[in-house]
Structure 1
């Protein structure tokens, strides 16, 4: 499982799915990226170079950090949430990875439970 550690505080990436619709709407309106894009881009990261060299992935990564921090109750702007020295940011992998959540598919929402 992965943990994000930002300035000494741990964040579970699954928190992103527990973020409210208001949080995800704020990200979409203020940063122009939605839940599906953010989570897909974050899942595609294989090395830090992906974040540092690709502006699209970098923006999604920063949006993900913002969502984690907002969902944890921190009232920060996008810039404040990401104003973190790189030596105070870590992704720690423990054991196996049930990892970065995927955005729920529309079909998942519409499916009726079977008797």
Structure 2
């Protein structure tokens, strides 16, 4: 009977020791889990902020791209108008010079002195 009592006390002592160890382990890992959860929350907040910023930048990019496209179209229209205007000037000068005398028929060559030709063969005013 005494041997069984001693063995029972030893088993109860082992049980209490294991329960205390379990409680310490749970406490330690609970603290670690809270720290990790805090880091996760921080990273999630940062990610949400970055997503918001990216969306804002994407909208700004689209707006700027639209402005750029419209400006390029306007520039192309102005170039076309300038080329038409230059062609009208050259044509009208040629008509005026051709009607004066044959000694002044070099006017189109003298007019091109203030112009330079581009790769397409069209002249531009410098």
Indicate the structure with greater helix content: 2
Q: What TM-score does the superposition give when structure 2 sets the normalisation length?
A: 0.19
Q: What TM-score does the superposition give when structure 1 sets the normalisation length?
A: 0.20
Please say which structure displays the higher CA radius of gyration. 2
Indicate the structure with greater strand content: 1
- Does 1 or 2 have the higher relative contact order (CA < 8 Å, sep 6+)? 1
